[in-house]
Amino acid sequence: MENIAHGLMGLRMGQLGAFRRVGPRAALIGVIAANIPDLDVLVYVFNRDLGNWEHRGFTHSLVGWPVLSLLGAAASSSSLRTGRFRDHLGLWAAAIASHLVLDVPTTWGTQLLWPDDRRFGLELIFIVDPVFWLLLGLLPWWLARRGRPAPWAGILALGGWFGVAFLLKSMALTRAPEPVQAVPGPLAPLFWTGFSRPGPGDLEIRRYWLTPWSCEPAGAFGTPRGAAWDSVLATHAGERDAWMSISPAVLRQDEQGGVVTLGIVDLGFTSWLDPDRFPFGHVYTVTAEGTVTRTTGSQRR
């Protein structure tokens, strides 16, 4: 989830009566704590690929959660000198946990069991969802303006929104002519990107634009396979690229002079807003000896 939503969730948690002993800056602490896990994006400064692999790793895991909570509580309790340490620890733990929880419904998932690199993601919510701002921002504000402060109201309403998203996704999946995986597109849960899950003998992956009421075919793509793809997977970078992809597909494949060029894209990150653009593409060049070179960047069909 993006950081405005995380910050609003932290704000509301800091306003809960359970954390009033933290003092008047509890809401500010909640905002900071709810965004702390995303400090792992600083890794991008040193290496883009490492940043992709490690984002939503340690700082988003059940291992990192208590570490960050203890460090944050120690910093805020010693600097503010309000409340007890356990009051600060409770707020930090709750706000950081909210970050982990909000990231799970989005695409790509979170490494909750880090250092195990399995990702847990429900693929219900697009990474930017203005409904979060309305429910966590405007709804509690509107209630407070009427003399009924209820910061928990936005949190409960958000749970209801997840239920709505699940229902609309279930409806969208029934519109596809075959079993597909669907990930949220912009304006989800009204719009979804669906794609078939290829079996061992399938040569193509079919893409669909889905809504709860319609399905539109959106092209077919090759399934990565063959000796060149095996050479790519034998490299560390290729292995990690495949791990990061929701649905790797072949955009183009050329062979000239014994050198194979593979354009690999991730159908999980395509959009009906620009269906021919693939922002997380990789081009691999594989020589006859199996030497692999790799470039990254947006590709177009």
Give the start-to-end residue ranges of the domains of the chain: 3-121, 222-300
Amino acid at 241: D
Residue 32 tokens, joined:
């900071």
* Cα separation, 30 vs 101, whole angstroms: 15
- The whole-number pLDDT of residue 272 equals 84
- The whole-number pLDDT of residue 213 equals 96
Residue 248: count of CB within 10 angstroms of its CB: 22
Answer for the pair 169, 189: CB distance below 8 angstroms, yes or no.
Answer: yes
Counting every residue written for the chain, the total comes to: 301
- The whole-number pLDDT of residue 83 equals 87
Q: What tens digit of pLDDT does each residue of 11-41 get?
A: 999 999 999 999 999 999 999 999 999 999 8
- The whole-number pLDDT of residue 4 equals 95
Residue 152: count of CB within 10 angstroms of its CB: 15
Kindly report the pTM of this predicted structure: 0.91
Residue 129 phi, psi (nearest 5): -135, 105
What is the CATH code of the structural domain delimited by 222-300? 3.10.450
Below-50 pLDDT ranges, the chain:
none
- The whole-number pLDDT of residue 132 equals 95
Instruction: Match 């030497």 to its residue by tokens.
Output: 291
Residue 9 phi, psi (nearest 5): -65, -45
Q: Between the CA of residue 176 and those of 32, 169, 194, 210, what are the distances in Å?
A: 42, 11, 8, 7
- The whole-number pLDDT of residue 74 equals 96
Q: What tens digit of pLDDT does each residue of 117-173 get?
A: 899 999 999 999 999 999 999 999 999 888 888 889 999 999 999 999 999 999 999
